[in-house]
Amino acid sequence: MTTDSSPALGRAPLRLLVPAAVAIGLLVVPVVGLVLRTPWRELPELLVEPALRQALWISVLTATAAMLLCAVLGLPLAWVLARTTFRGRGLVRGLVAVPLVMPPVVAGVALLAAFGRTGVVGGPLRDLFGVTVPFTTVAVVLAHTFVALPFFVLSVEGALRAGNPDYDSVAATLGASRWMTFRRVTLPLVLPGIGAGMLLSWARAMGEFGATITFAGNYPGTTQTMPLLIYSRLQSDPDAAYALGLVLLVFSLIVLAVLRDRWLREAPA
Amino acid sequence: MTVNARTEGLDAEVVVARPEHRLDVTLSAEPGDVVAVVGPNGSGKTTLLRAVAGLQPLSSGRISCGGRVWDDTVAGVRLSVQERRVGMVLQDILLFPHLTATDNVAFGPRSRGRTRADARRDATAWLDRLGVTDLAERRPHQLSGGQAQRVAVARALATDPLVLLLDEPLAALDVGAAMALRLELARHLAEYGGITLLVTHDAIDALTIANRVVVLDEGRIVQHGTPAEVSALPRTAHAARLVGLNVLHGQSRGSLVELVGGTELVTTTPYDGPVHVTFPPAAVALSREAGSGSARNQWRGRVGSVAPHGTVVRVHLDAAGGLIADVTAESAGRLGVAPGQEVWASVKATEVTVHAAGPVDRPARIT
C-alpha cells in the first residue's frame, strides 16, 4: 500500500484501515481459494472435456450475440436519453435501470411471463408463427440482453453526456442533419464509450445465471452456458466445477485488463 | 439593392424570457457590417448569438436575413439551424477531434451537398486563405490554439454563411496568438462581405475589428454606435471600462508612432509597422501651457464638449484626431475648461499600449 501522501494531516486512522483490510480480504480470499482448490494436475483433461467446450461455445456465442443486440438497440436508446427532451424521459431512464436492481431470477420469471407459451408476446408468437422462445438458445440471448442492456445504455449515455453538446450545434450550423451529425460526429466521439459499454455488457452476459436458468433452462448443447455447467458440476464433480470456474475467472480478468484504463485509473492526486 | 437593403441584411427582434435572464434586443445589420456585441457576463450576448443561429428558441420576436424570414413567433415560422446559413466560431474552438483540418473544413460543404472531391477542394482553398495550408492533414490535438481557431474560422466561412457568429473567438488564446489572429480576422471579415456578430470581452476587438458596437446590459441594448461613439461616450460603467479608451491609428517606427493626421506619439513599446495605440482617458492630462513635465506626448487642441462622467469630468478634444480626457472636477474647474477653449493635452509614453495592426490596415470605420 502507498504511504499517506499528505503526512501533515496525520496518520490514517486504524478504525478506517482495519475495515478496509477486511474488505480487501473479503474480495481476494475467495479468488485465492479458487486458485488453490483447482485440481491443477487434472486440469488439462478437464479442459478438453466436450461438455466444457460446448458450454463455453454457447456462452461466448450467446454473450456475443447479446452484446451486439445491446449495441444495436442500446446506442439509439442512449442517444435518445442523452440528446432529446420529452415528457417522461426520467421515467424511461428509471425503467432502463430496473434490470440492474431486479433479482436475475425475477428477470427470468418476467421473461417467461412475457415470452412463455401463454405470455403477452409468447402466446401470439406461438399462435401466429408457431415459434416458441423459452428453453432455446434464443431465450439465452434474450435473457442476457435483458440483464446486460442497462450496463450498455447507462455507460454510453454517460459518454454522450460527457461530450460537449456544442459539437452538435456546430455541425448543425454547418448544415449537417441530425442523422449525419450522429454518424459523422457523435458516433466517432463516443466510440471508446461504446467499446467499454459492449465489453461491460459482454462480461455481464458471460456471468449471467439466474435469468438464464429460469427462462432458458439448463440443457446441454442448447442453453447450458458456462455458469450453468459449473452449477451442475458442483453437485456431481466439484473438481470439475473449480476448473471451470478458473476458466471463467480468466475471461473476467481479460475483461478487466482491457477496461483497466477506465476502472483502475488512479484518481488525480 | 438600395430599396431591398433592409431585407438583405439581418433584422432581429429577439425576446428570450428565462427565469434567470431576459433578453430583449432589436438589432439590424447590413452585409459587410462587423457588429461587436459587448457587455458584462450574463447580459445575454451568447443567448443573442444562439438565437440568431436558431439554437435558442425565441419567446417572441422575428429574425429575417437575406430576404428570408428565419424566425417569426407570430407567424409560427422557425427555420432549422441547418437552413439559416450561419457560421459559428466559439471560444472552445470545437474542431471535430477525429477529423483532420481539411476534413473539418470540408464538413460544411459536404453536409450542404457538395461531392467529396469538391468539398475537399473548397477546404483546401479556405485553409490556404487562412494561411494554414501546411496543417491540412493535422488533427486538432496537433494544432496550437491559434492554428485551431484559424481552421475553425475557415470551417465557418467555407459554407458561405450570410451571418458569421463569433463568440469570444480570441478569448482562449494567449496574448501573442490572439494579437496575430485579431489582425487576420479583421482582414478576413473585411473580405467576407457578410454580416458578422462578434461577442467579445476585449475592447481592442470591439474597437479595431468592428465597425459597430452594441452594448448589452441585463438583456437590453443600452448603447449602439460606432466604436468611436461608444468609446467617446459610454453609457454604462461596464462599457466605460470596456471601451472607454482612446484609440489612435498610425505607423510605428521604433518607439515613435506617426499618427494618421500628422502628429507623432512616443511609446515605450518599439515596433515597426502599422499600429493601433490605446490609452485610457484618465491618462490624458490637460493644461493651459505646454508643460515641461515627464509627459512626452503633447498636443494642442480645442475642447469640444465637457460633461460629468461618474466622479470625473470627461473632456473631448479635437487634438490628435480626437481625444477623450478624464480629469477631476477640481482640475477642470482650475483650468476653466469650456467648449471652444484651447488646451494642451499630454500623455505619458508609459500609459500607451501598442497593438500591431498588420499589413492590411483596416481601422474601425469611424464616421
* The pLDDT of residue B342: 86
Comparing CB atoms, the residue among B50, B82, B94 nearest residue A175 is B82
Average pLDDT, consecutive stretches of 10 residues, N- to C-terminus, chain A (269 residues): 63 93 96 90 85 92 97 97 92 93 94 91 89 92 96 94 91 95 94 92 94 94 94 89 89 84 55
Closest residue of chain A to B166, computed from CA coordinates: A170
Give me the torsion for CA of A118, A124, A128, A130, rounded to 10°.
-40
pLDDT-derived band at B2, boundaries 50, 70, 90: very low
**CB under 8 Å to B306, separation ≥6 — which residues?**
B313, B314, B315, B316, B332, B337, B338, B339
Nearest to B325 by CA among B287, B354, B295: B287
**DSSP 8-state symbol, A7:** G
Domain B246-356: which CATH number of 3.40.50.1000, 3.40.50.300, 2.40.50.100, 3.40.1010.10:
2.40.50.100
Find the residue in A nearest to B155 (Cα): A174
Q: Are B328 and B313 in contact (CB under 8 A)?
A: yes
The verdict on A180 touching B (C-beta cutoff 8 Å) is yes
A177 Cβ under 8 Å from any chain B Cβ:
yes
Q: B175-192 vs B145-157: helix axis angle to the nearest 10?
A: 10
Inter-helix orientation angle A137-162/A50-83, to 10°: 40
Does CATH number 3.40.50.300 belong to domain B5-243? yes
* CA–CA distances in Å: residue A226 to residues A22, A107, B112: 30, 19, 52
**Rounded to whole angstroms, how far apart are CA atoms B221 and B239?**
11
Contact flag B112-A172 (C-beta cutoff 8 Å): no
The structural domains of chain B, with segments of one domain joined by +, span 5-243, 246-356
- The answer to whether residue A12 neighbours chain B at the CB level (below 8 Å) is no
Tell me the Ramachandran region of residue B147: left when phi exceeds 0, alpha when psi lies from -120 to 50, beta otherwise.
alpha
Q: What is the pLDDT of residues B197-250, one digit of tens each?
A: 999 877 778 877 899 999 888 899 988 988 877 776 666 666 766 666 777 778
Q: How far apart are CA A178 and CA A189, in angstroms?
A: 15
From residue B274, give the alpha-carbon distance in Å to each of B45, B351, B354.
Answer: 31, 19, 10
- Phi first, then psi, for residue A209 (nearest 5°) are -130, -60
Structure-model confidence comparison of residues B361 and A222, the more confident one: A222
Determine the Cα–Cα distance for residues A170 and A180; give it in Å rounded to an integer: 12
Q: Give me the residue spans of the domains in chain A.
A: 45-105+138-263
Closest-CA residue in chain A for B158? A174
Copy the grid coordinates of residue A247: 476458466
Q: What is the pLDDT of residue B367?
A: 27
Q: 3-class secondary structure for B160-214?
A: CCCEEEEECCCCCCCHHHHHHHHHHHHHHHHHHCCEEEEECCCHHHHHHCCCEEE
Q: How confident is the model at residue B50 (pLDDT cuts 50, 70, 90)?
A: very high
What's the pLDDT at A255? Answer: 85
A189 vs B contacts (CB less than 8 Å): 96-98
- Per-residue pLDDT averaged across B291-315, rounded? 76
Instruction: Say which CATH superfamily domain A45-105+138-263 falls into.
Output: MetI-like (1.10.3720.10)
Beta bridge partners of B23: B16
Pairwise CA distance, residues A130 & A121, whole Å? 12
Nearest to B111 among A164, A167, A175 (CB): A175
